[in-house]
Each structure stands twice: as structure tokens, then as C-alpha cells.
Amino acid sequence: MCRAILLALCVVSSSTTMGQGILSRLVGGRRDWGKMEERYREVKGERIGKYLAGEHAGKRVLVLVWPKIPAMDGQVIPERPHVAVVRGLKRGMKGMVFVGVLQPKFSADVAKEMAGPAGARMPFLEMWFGVEELNQELLPYKGKYDILVCLARLPGVRKMTGVGWKTTSYKELSFWQEKRVSVVVAEGSIAQFEDLIKAGKVCAAVVGRQGLQDEDYQKPPARNLNKAFNTRLILITPQNVGKHSAYFIAR
């Protein structure tokens, strides 16, 4: 329960008094919850970066983040959650080439439609940020990166239903056909990617640790990087995927 509310409010709380009040009560009145969550995001990025630097030294890394969605009810969000993850990633990936951050953009008419109330706009993200759109965004980077680090849920993984909705499978994303490109799935469900991890096409995946309790989300991050990362997350790779079969049950 605590985890779900934290995730739902992590963006809202950065710019609203209401969000700050809810999270303050949720984490026992901590005044430093914002800094704590920011540090956990940095830890996530740095752990990924260090793994990549150790296993894929010298490779070129492109980072995919969520499209820039207008803030709820027109409020300004000073920093998106991915910023801290990217900061940590760059710190950890020494000896690698950072190509840049790809943040897909919506057309002006779609952006205007999505600027409405938050509850009404989420379906539009699924409808307007699909496999075809991402493939188009990736075209300028073709041949310029070796690893795509996904800090956004890949489109087409979750099947959408509804009148007039058409969902193209994530299997049609262009980078799967590029032999030299591998992927880090660091956001969203990883249940469908077991075989791709085993094959090394997904060279790493990050998932929330199972069985955590509410109090686990109130623990400040440890100073040791691996210990801080392991407090909440698991890094699944081709080397250890066999030990984490429980994360691939739902397909």
C-alpha cells in the first residue's frame, strides 16, 4: 500500500502542498522524504551504470525517458523523476559513452489535449505514445548507440482494449532487430522479458523486490551502493536470471 501511494504521488508531491502533506504523514512525518526518494533514484541509476561499465565497457548508451507530459492542472514540476536516475547512471558508467537522453515529444494538439485533468489524460499516453511513435523517435539514433536504457515503460507491453484502440506489440520495436543493440529494462513489468534476458538481448532488468513491507519504504538508503539498491530493487541479468523465476510468472 505504501509503495503504491509513493509511486502515485512522487511527481505530484514535488509541486503541491497536498502531496507533501500526504507523503509526510505516510512516512511518519519525515521532512526529508523528498531527498530520500531522490537518493534512491540516484542509487538505481548508479547501480545500473556500474553493472554496464563492468560488463559492457566502452559501449555507447542512449537513455529513453517518459514523454514530457504537462503537469496536472497546469502546475509546474521542477524536476522529473528520471533526472536523478540519469545523474546516478552517468556517475556509474565510467569508461562508457553517454549518447544522450531521448525524451519523446507529443505533437502540439496532443499535448494540449493531455494538459487536462490528470484522471482523464492517462489513456491518451497509451494511445499517443505507441510502438510506431517510438520507432520514429529512434530513427535519428540508428547506428549511434549500443545499449538502450529504458527509464520509461516500453509501449506495446501492456495490451490496451477499447473502441478504436489498436495496440502494436512491443516485439515490433525496431531495436530488437538490431544485432549490436541490447536493452536495459529499468521501468515497468519485466514478466515478458525472461527469454530475452537469457539470450542477452535484454542485458539487464530492474524490478521492485518482492515481499517488501510498508516500513521498508521508510528506510533511508544505506551508504553502501549495493546495500542501498538491494533495499528495494533487484538487478536481473543473463548471469542470474535463473535465480529469479518468480518475477516471470505472469506472462
Query: pLDDT of the chain along its 251 residues, tens only?
Result: 444 444 444 443 333 333 433 444 344 445 578 899 999 999 999 999 999 999 999 999 999 998 876 655 556 555 577 999 999 999 999 999 999 999 988 767 666 666 666 545 555 555 667 888 899 999 999 999 999 999 998 988 766 555 455 667 889 999 999 999 999 999 988 999 999 999 999 999 999 999 988 888 899 999 999 999 999 999 999 999 999 999 997 54
Cell 517510438 -> residue: 134
Cβ pair 213, 231 in contact under 8 A? no
Residues 219, 119: Cα–Cα separation, whole Å:
31
Record the pTM: 0.80
Do 26 and 6 touch, CB atoms closer than 8 A?
A: yes
Q: Where are the domains of the chain?
A: 34-248
Cell of 93: 558508467
C-alpha span between 151 and 153 (Å, rounded): 7
92/84 Cα distance (integer angstroms): 12
What is the Cα Rg of the chain in Å? 18
Cα dist from 74 to 22, 92, 162, 195, whole Å: 20, 35, 28, 42
Instruction: Say which CATH topology domain 34-248 has.
Output: Rossmann fold (3.40.50)
CA distances from 210 to 24, 205, 207, 239 (A): 24, 15, 9, 20
